[in-house]
Structure 1
């Protein structure tokens, strides 16, 4: 592993913030030649110039601007860590870094996260969407506070984390007006050979739907398989097939996609989980998400 001298990085960060080598030297109580020498050593390690001299001024290079963005976050987190350890109030908004498994409907993600944004203190929300394994790796490194998923943590994973059930609900089938009108009367048998837009295989919802279809002897025509839920909904909105969404966001789907309800079932459940490294949730924003999901959105007892 390549080790970085954080003293050198701190000198560079100070020069950027103060706007000049002279001002930074005064702030650091060091001679300008000393600071300049430390910057040169940092440039050697990074393999590129951090500044260019323009007249009497120093202008950051592209590398310099990139390094400054990282340095600014590093030293901001350092201050926050020390404030937390010393029991001092942490300045600035509360940060909530959330991983979102990419199969989750965007509308349900917004509903789940909304309570965090309504806390009395300001919350800075950062959302990262990716595959579950990639997000769990980030969670294990503590770069994420929580991961929202449609399945609990799988057994056998090396990640030490805990699954917190947020709630569950049935699903609603949607289609454009012309298709919905044909299928509504004899639902769910009407779905036999009907064009269906489905999530990819190996997802929790796909497996539950296929088991339900098999129980009823229904074999829809698979008109499309999608690994992106938002794209699936766009095709459904254009009339390419029937698609499903959690019943809890039915009103939002109808409004946003201008479709109609074909039917509903409680036999297929969508479940949502918050996965964290904490057995007992301490992060106030994550706690707000759990509380609202269980007692308002899904009304769990």
Structure 2
């Protein structure tokens, strides 16, 4: 059986990066703590740390162990909080993974209704690449993943992709950039500096194909995995950037940019990925229903 005291010692050392610093936090001597870590490694039959100069670095197995340790102690803290507040209404955790290419405004728009359910929900969001989030979903560390594409068939993970909606694309730019452009949209994009999503985004390929279809080459000056960062560069005048039509008004207001034009030929799609073939989690159902209202026919 796992020794949770040893697990606590391991986690503290992993966070501190050195035996001496961890020993101070745990009020142990470095020799005692080092012995406890060695005993833990022997019990597990793996090497958790490797020495790099004066620091201790986690091995691959050590990083996996730390991820589980964080989750174990997080759940323990939730249990303690639930017991201390058992007289109050129970709060159910709703753990959502958000693929880092999904615009923050879309994520908020879809997830906000989960906080208005009759039974209180504690929303826990984790942002990462889809592959990592799907792996966590498969071991039930997440209830749902929001993504801009279905779960790839190449992933050896059992999951189901539920379409939430789709919309066209608007091209936005700072006024200083817009003044320098000529012609009617989409010809106005010819020779314009463009900011586009990074390689992980499902929008990237159809966007590039659409630009090529117009008959002129795009002048790409930046690629971004984070849509908020792309919008910030657009606000500063670095170039024209695409956003989902459903969030264009909010982005224009927040970043003080204007719309150059829009197209329905490029589709931004969003999916809820779950381990359920049919959605049943109340919060996931709230997200799905919110999506039907958000992605109206005018933007689809």
| TM-score of the two chains, using structure 2 as the length reference | 0.72
- State how far apart, in whole Å, the 1-side matches of 2:289 and 2:255 are: 29
Aligned residue in 1 for 2:65: none
Residue 152 of structure 1 aligns with which residue?
A: 150
1:180 aligns with 2:182: no
State the match for 1:227 in structure 2: 225
Question: Runs of 4+ in structure 1 displaced over 3 angstroms?
Answer: 42-47, 67-72, 74-80, 181-185
> Aligned equivalents of 1:69 and 1:132: distance in 2?
19
What is the CA–CA distance in structure 2 between the aligned matches of 1:156 and 1:109, rounded to whole Å? 25
> For 1:235, what is the secondary structure of its paired residue?
helix
Aligned partner of 1:84 in structure 2 is none
Indicate the larger mover: 181-190 or 264-273.
181-190
Q: Distance in 2 between matches of 1:275 and 1:220?
A: 33
Question: Which of 224, 235, 238 is residue 236 of structure 2 equivalent to?
Answer: 238
Q: Which has the larger radius of gyration?
A: 1
Deviation at 1:218, TM superposition (A): 2.8
Name the counterpart of 2:75.
73
Q: CA RMSD in A?
A: 3.1
Distance 2:70 2:227 in 1: 36
Deviation, structure 1 residue 92: 2.1
Match of 2:168 among 149, 154, 170: 170
Q: CA deviation at 1:97?
A: 0.3
Contact 1:175 1:236 in 2 (8 A): yes
- Aligned length in residues: 240
TM-score of the superposition, structure 1-length normalised? Answer: 0.72
Unmatched tracts of structure 1, length 5 or more: 10-41, 48-66, 81-89
Return the alpha-carbon distance in structure 2 between the equivalents of residues 222 and 271 of structure 1. Answer: 23
2:127 alignment partner, SS class: strand
How far apart are residue 156 of structure 1 and its match? 2.9
Point out where structure 2 has 5 or more consecutive residues left out of the alignment.
7-35, 42-68, 83-87
Residue 134 of structure 2 corresponds to which residue in structure 1? 136
TM-fit CA distance, 1:298: 1.0
Greater Cα shift, 154-163 or 167-176: 154-163
- Partner-residue secondary structure (3-state), 2:203: helix
Deviation at 1:199, TM superposition (A): 1.2
163-172 vs 187-196, greater mean Cα deviation: 187-196
